[in-house]
Amino acid sequence: MLAYSSGTSTAPLLGETIGANFERAVARFGDREALVDVAAGRRWTYAELDADVNRLARGLLARGIAKGDRVGIWAPNCAEWVITQYATAKIGAILVNVNPAYRTHELEYVVKQSGLSLLISAVSFKSSDYRSMIESIGFGDVAYIGEASYFDLSVDGDMTEISGRAASLAFDDAINIQYTSGTTGFPKGATLSHHNILNNGYFVGELISYTEQDRVCLPVPLYHCFGMVMGNLGATSHGACIVLPAPGFDPAATLAAVASERVTSLYGVPTMFIAELGLPNFADYDLSSLRTGIMAGSPCPVEVMKRVVAEMNMAEVAICYGMTETSPVSTMTRPDDNLARRTETVGRVMPHLESKVVDPVTGLVVERGEPGELCTRGYSVMLGYWEQPDATADAIDAARWMHTGDLATMDADGYLNIVGRIKDLVIRGGENVYPREVEEFLYSHPDIADVQVIGVPDAKYGEELMAWIVMRPDTTPLTAEAVRAYCAERLTHYKIPRYVHIVDGFPMTVTGKVRKVEMREQAIDILGLQEAAAIKKA
């Protein structure tokens, strides 16, 4: 049986713009709470949020923002981020998400590559002085959140001009550009439509049974699909409430918000859940309101998922898999999946989408159970990379399949397992080793809180395995010998890490993706493997 699956559904795709969908929610749920900015102590009903969205939309129109113009947002999580998202959608401006961690050269690249007309920005965040970076690149049209330049964008009035603009919009129009964090070179701007992201957020919410009774806590960054699509659009398309616990991730603030706001759904990348579970006073937080949530963004350790289910009251938690270029979710577990499938797979293909696993060399679909590159097709696939047709053609083939670069297997029932990145595959003495398999085994060690496995250069075998390990609190750091002894009876010899490096954390992108390329570069210096790294290979 070939590794191909299509997602059926009795629920049709939404054929409307984000603005139209939001206005339908406002009409149905106007008096219900829509947004809580916990750190700022502010909250909005749907009617109040719509009023603020419309004020900003009028201001953008008065500023001369046309359909298709790019408006940037550079800020940590805050209410203004959400308001900007829906205001730009209502008038057909393309929202450009700027990573809060960007420095000057990255900001300058995004501003120029996207052709920004206006930037809505925080003044600063953590150690980043946004104002000075913006001034240094000479970008002039900026509205600073919390200052007059932003408040002046809010304009009162009737809906005539907004309605006129809305009538000119199509749901296939581009509405969002998200720059993907490439490991080499400058990022590429994945260009997404109303249809892409509205439907993806909606069906994520459908599969975890969102209603207007749900309250969705988002410690994940809004600038990424996890926050603004699976979070914001997943919530508002069902009349649920968005809860922002803090501007940046803070495990204590997150759990405090869950308790105080009676949150029903909690999102996070695996490292966030690990940090929350690791709080010394974790047991003091009342998490009884939780029922569901999403773990995504990077491979989800089985043991962490089991703890989230057992200790955080998230019996219906789901794993989502995807990428920015696919809006983002392509596969997802379901609440009625058994525990093994909900903790050990990334689920099945989403409604209205297709998945296949192909041989990376021949492009042919492999048999179920065999590893290959995961590809996805359907409404969620991006329009393309902004003004980069060659890069688009490299990622999306002639049949509109998005090639993910991830290695996966599909079982007889269509459940998928991510076994690594094509580029992460370690070949040790001719044997293929998938780091994910070794990582999952090491998570079963009682003293290991988190682990990443990489390949490092080796003169004899070509590559050897190295495990970077984060210990649980109050445990003795493991030696390489201890780790190898633990693996010896359960793993084939070539899958046992030769090197062990104890760390407090891993180099990561802001979205929680581990930067294994950077780890490999550091490892060469740590282990003194420059000679082996210099050996040329065919």
Which residues, listed in sequence order, are joined to residue 295 by a DSSP beta bridge?
268, 319
pLDDT digit string, tens, across residues 248-271: 999 999 999 999 999 999 999 888
| pLDDT reported for residue 494 | 84
Which three-class secondary structure state does DSSP give residue 71? Answer: strand
| pLDDT reported for residue 309 | 94
Angle subtended at Cα 11 by Cα 9 and Cα 13, rounded to the nearest 5 degrees: 100
Reported as a pLDDT band with limits 50, 70 and 90, residue 510 is low
What DSSP string runs through 503-538?
A: -S---B-TTS-B-HHHHHHHHHHHHT-HHHHH----
320: tokens are: 């989502």
User: Per-residue pLDDT for 138 more than 60?
Assistant: yes
344: tokens are: 């050990």
Phi and psi of 157, rounded to 5°?
155, -175
Question: What is the distance between the terminal CA atoms of the chain, rounded to a whole angstrom?
Answer: 35
User: Per-residue pLDDT for 537 more than 70?
Assistant: no
User: Per-residue pLDDT for 8 more than 90?
Assistant: yes
pLDDT digit string, tens, across residues 150-195: 999 999 999 999 999 999 999 999 999 999 864 445 789 999 999 9
pLDDT digit string, tens, across residues 283-338: 999 999 999 999 997 778 888 899 999 999 999 999 999 999 999 999 999 999 99
Between residues 265 and 423, the one the model is more confident about: 265
What DSSP string runs through 267-320?
A: EE-HHHHHHHHT-TTGGGS--TT--EEEE-SS---HHHHHHHHHHS--TT-EEE
| pLDDT reported for residue 247 | 98
Percent of the chain with pLDDT over 70: 98
Question: How far is it, in rounded angstroms, from Cα 365 to Cα 372?
Answer: 8
Question: How far is it, in rounded angstroms, from Cα 112 to Cα 97?
Answer: 14
Question: How far is it, in rounded angstroms, from Cα 436 to Cα 433?
Answer: 9
Q: What is the largest CA-CA distance in the chain?
A: 74
| pLDDT reported for residue 538 | 38
Phi and psi of 402, rounded to 5°?
-85, 120
pTM higher than the cut 0.85: yes
Question: How far is it, in rounded angstroms, from Cα 425 to Cα 532?
Answer: 18
Domain boundaries defined on the chain: 424-534
- What is the fold, at CATH topology level, of the domain defined by 424-534? GMP Synthetase; Chain A, domain 3 (3.30.300)
| pLDDT reported for residue 433 | 83
On average, the pLDDT of the chain sits at: 94
User: Per-residue pLDDT for 423 more than 70?
Assistant: yes
pLDDT digit string, tens, across residues 331-369: 999 999 998 898 889 999 999 999 999 998 899 999 999
Encoded amino acid at 354, one letter: E
Between residues 117 and 301, the one the model is more confident about: 117
User: Per-residue pLDDT for 511 more than 80?
Assistant: no
Do β-strands 142-144 and 116-121 pair in parallel, antiparallel, or remain unpaired? Answer: parallel
DSSP H or E segment with residue 59: helix 46-62
Encoded amino acid at 225, one letter: C
39, 253 in Cβ contact below 8 A?
yes
DSSP H or E segment with residue 439: helix 435-442
Backbone CA torsion sign across 105, 193, 202, 402: negative
| pLDDT reported for residue 181 | 61
Mean pLDDT: which of 379-388, 415-424, 525-534 is highest?
Answer: 379-388
Question: How far is it, in rounded angstroms, from Cα 519 to Cα 332?
Answer: 29
Encoded amino acid at 296, one letter: A
Between residues 397 and 340, the one the model is more confident about: 397
249, 297 in Cβ contact below 8 A?
no
Rounded to an integer, the average pLDDT of 200-222 is: 98
| pLDDT reported for residue 183 | 41
Question: How far is it, in rounded angstroms, from Cα 366 to Cα 345?
Answer: 18
